[in-house]
C-alpha cells in the first residue's frame, strides 16, 4: 500500500519540529536569549521528553545545536536549489557555523577511536602537531585544542569566507596561540613530516582528488603518525537513512565511500594498519585510520 506525499510529509514533520524545538532550547539556555515564559516551558517539556531530566549543557550540547542548524539550513537550501551541481561553496553564515559546531563532535569520536587504535593515543597525548584539513570555521580545531591541552593545531582550507569566520571563532575562544589557520589546498602540502595526526573530511573532497589527498597527507605525517579520515554516517540502519546520507555527501561534493572502497585505497597510498573503527559514538561520522611507518 502506498502513502500519499502529504501523509508522509506530516509524519516526518513531527521529527523536524522536535529537532527544531531541541535546538531552540539549547540556544535559549546557552546563549541567554530572551524567551516568552510559556514558549520556554513548552520547549523544556519537549526536551525532557527527548532527553530526560538532565537539562542543557552549554559545551556538551553545542554539536547537537550544530546538527539542528545544519540539517535545517541544508534542507532549506535543497528546497531552494534542488538540482544544483555537487560542490561545496555555500556562503550562508548560519550553515557554515552550524556545520562547524556539529564538527566539534568529531573530537570526542576521535578520542574513542584512539582507545581502539594502539599507538594513536600516545600521539595525541603528547605535545602533538595536528593538521585539520578543511578546517572550515575552525570549531573542530577549537574542540581538538580543548581535548588535547598540549596539542598545536594547524587548520587549512581553501574557502576564504569560512576562514574569516574561523579567525573570529578562534580569537573568541582565546586560542590564537595554539591554532594556526592557513588558506591552503591539501594537495599543496609539502612532503615534510611535520604532523602527528592528520584529519581528512572525505565528504567535502571530490572523488577525483582523494587518492592524491591521501598521498599528500601521508607525506605530511611524521613516522608513526596517524591519518584519521571521516565519512558521514547514516542516522539509522534503514534504507532511507542511508539514502539521505548519500544525498548529503554528494551535495557536499564528495563520494559516499564504503570500507570496501576506501581501505584498499589507504593501503595503496602507503598507510599501514588501515582500518575502520567500529562506531560507538553519537557523532554522525564513520572513522578510518592508517599509520605512516
- Check residue 68 and report its DSSP letter: H
Q: Residue 289 corresponds to which cell in the numbers above? A: 585510520
Is 216 a member of any domain?
A: yes
Is 83 a member of any domain?
A: no
The predicted pLDDT at position 91 comes to: 65
Domain containing residue 220: CATH number? 3.40.50.150
Query: Domain check: are 9 and 116 in the same one?
Result: no
Query: Domain check: are 169 and 259 in the same one?
Result: yes
Query: Domain check: are 240 and 146 in the same one?
Result: yes
Is 97 a member of any domain?
A: no
Query: Domain check: are 36 and 108 in the same one?
Result: no
Query: Domain check: are 41 and 145 in the same one?
Result: no
Q: List pLDDT tens digits, range 2-19.
A: 778 988 888 888 899 999
The predicted pLDDT at position 87 comes to: 62
Is 92 a member of any domain?
A: no
Is 287 a member of any domain?
A: yes
Spatial contact of 23 and 69, defined as CB atoms under 8 Å apart? yes
The predicted pLDDT at position 90 comes to: 59
The residue behind cell 554522525 is 284
Q: List pLDDT tens digits, range 178-187.
A: 999 999 999 9
> Low-confidence residues of the chain, pLDDT below 50?
none
Query: Domain check: are 151 and 281 in the same one?
Result: yes
Query: Domain check: are 277 and 221 in the same one?
Result: yes
Is 78 a member of any domain?
A: no
Is 79 a member of any domain?
A: no
Spell out the alpha helix ranges (H) of the chain.
5-31, 37-51, 62-80, 93-103, 105-115, 120-125, 139-147, 160-172, 210-220, 239-251, 259-268
Global pTM value: 0.88
Query: Domain check: are 41 and 163 in the same one?
Result: no
Contacting residues for 276 by C-beta, under 8 A, at least 6 apart? 259, 262, 263, 286, 287, 288
Distance, in Å, from the CA atom of 113 to the CA atom of 277, rounded to the nearest integer, reads 6
Query: Domain check: are 171 and 254 in the same one?
Result: yes
Q: Which domain holds residue 106?
A: 102-291
The predicted pLDDT at position 211 comes to: 97
Is 89 a member of any domain?
A: no
| Residue 217: φ, ψ to 5° | -65, -40
Q: Which of 283, 280, 197 is nearest to 232 (CA)?
A: 283
Count structural domains, the chain.
Answer: 2
Amino acid at each position: 500500500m502506498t502513502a500519499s506525499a502529504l501523509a508522509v510529509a506530516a509524519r516526518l514533520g513531527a521529527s523536524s519540529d522536535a529537532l527544531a524545538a531541541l535546538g531552540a532550547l539549547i540556544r535559549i539556555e546557552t546563549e541567554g536569549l530572551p524567551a516568552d515564559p510559556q514558549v520556554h516551558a513548552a520547549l523544556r517539556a519537549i526536551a525532557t521528553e527527548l532527553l530526560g531530566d538532565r537539562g542543557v549543557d552549554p559545551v556538551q550540547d553545542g554539536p547537537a545545536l550544530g546538527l539542528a542548524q545544519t540539517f535545517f539550513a541544508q534542507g532549506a537550501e535543497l528546497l531552494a536549489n534542488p538540482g544544483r551541481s555537487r560542490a561545496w561553496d555555500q556562503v550562508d553564515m548560519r550553515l557554515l557555523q552550524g556545520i562547524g559546531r556539529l564538527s566539534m563532535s568529531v573530537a570526542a569520536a576521535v578520542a574513542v577511536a584512539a582507545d581502539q587504535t594502539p599507538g594513536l593515543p600516545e600521539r595525541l597525548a603528547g605535545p602533538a602537531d595536528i593538521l585539520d584539513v578543511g578546517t572550515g570555521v575552525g570549531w573542530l580545531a577549537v574542540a581538538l585544542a580543548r581535548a588535547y591541552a598540549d596539542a598545536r593545531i594547524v587548520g587549512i582550507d581553501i574557502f576564504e569566507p569560512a576562514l574569516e569566520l574561523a579567525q573570529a571563532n578562534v580569537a573568541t575562544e582565546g586560542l590564537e596561540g595554539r591554532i594556526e589557520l592557513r588558506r591552503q589546498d591539501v594537495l599543496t602540502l609539502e612532503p615534510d613530516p611535520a604532523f602527528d595526526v592528520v584529519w581528512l573530511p572525505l565528504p567535502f573532497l571530490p572523488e577525483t582528488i582523494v587518492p592524491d589527498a591521501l598521498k599528500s597527507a601521508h607525506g605530511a605525517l611524521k613516522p608513526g603518525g596517524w591519518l584519521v579520515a571521516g565519512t558521514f554516517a547514516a542516522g539509522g540502519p534503514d534504507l532511507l537513512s542511508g539514502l539521505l546520507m548519500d544525498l548529503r555527501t554528494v551535495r557536499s561534493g564528495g563520494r559516499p565511500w564504503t570500507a570496501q572502497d576506501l581501505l584498499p585505497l589507504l593501503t595503496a597510498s602507503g598507510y599501514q594498519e588501515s582500518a575502520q573503527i567500529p562506531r560507538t559514538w553519537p557523532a554522525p561520522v564513520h572513522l578510518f585510520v592508517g599509520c605512516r611507518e
